[in-house]
Amino acid sequence: MNYKRGLAFIVIVAVVGWFGYSMTQTKRDDELFRDLVKSQQQRKSSEAESAALLESTKVSAPPNDMVVNLIPGNVWFVGKYEDGGGVEIPFRPGESPQKTDDDTPHQENPGFVGPEQCQECHREKYQSFLATGHYKTCRPVNESTIDGIFESGGNRFQTSDPNVSFEMIRRGDEFLQRAHFFDWSFEIPMEIIMGSSKMAQTYLYWHRDGLYQHNVTHITDGDQWINSPGYIDGDAAYARPIPQRCLDCHMTYFDFRGNTNRYTPGSLIMGVTCERCHGPAKDHVNFHRENRDAREAVGITNPADLERQLQMDICGQCHGGSRELKGDALSFRPGDPLEDHYYPPDEEADAKNSVHTSNQLNRLSQSQCFLQSQMTCIDCHDPHHNERGNELLFSSRCMKCHENESDCGYYPHEGVNFAENCVDCHMPRRSTEELRLESVKGDVFPPLRDHYIRVDETATERFLLGSDEG
Of residues 270 and 39, more confidently modeled: 270
Mean pLDDT (the chain) is 84
Report pLDDT for 359.
84
Bridge-based pairing state of the strands 216-219 and 66-71: unpaired
Report pLDDT for 41.
52
Residue 48 confidence (pLDDT) above 50: no
Residue 222 confidence (pLDDT) above 60: yes
Report pLDDT for 380.
94
Report pLDDT for 411.
58
Report pLDDT for 81.
79
Task: Tell me how far apart the alpha carbons of residues 178 and 225 are, in angstroms, rounded to a whole number.
Answer: 13
Q: What is the mean pLDDT of residues 298-317?
A: 96
Contact 114, 268 (CB under 8 A): no
Report pLDDT for 364.
93
Please tell me which of 57-66, 238-247, 361-370 the model is most confident about, judged by mean pLDDT. Answer: 238-247
Contact 97, 206 (CB under 8 A): yes
Angle at 366 between CA 363 and CA 369, to 5 degrees: 105
How deeply is 371 buried, as exposed, middle or buried, from its count of CB atoms within 10 A (0-12, 13-18, 19+)? exposed
Report pLDDT for 442.
62
Q: 167 forms bridges with which residues in the sheet? A: 156, 178
Mean pLDDT is lowest, of 64-78, 127-141, 285-299, 342-356, for 342-356
What's the predicted TM-score (pTM) here? Answer: 0.82
Of residues 344 and 15, more confidently modeled: 344
Report pLDDT for 448.
80
Q: Using pLDDT thresholds of 50, 70 and 90, give the confidence band for residue 417.
A: low
pLDDT digits (tens, 9 = 90+) for 374-411: 999 999 999 999 998 898 899 889 988 887 765 566 65
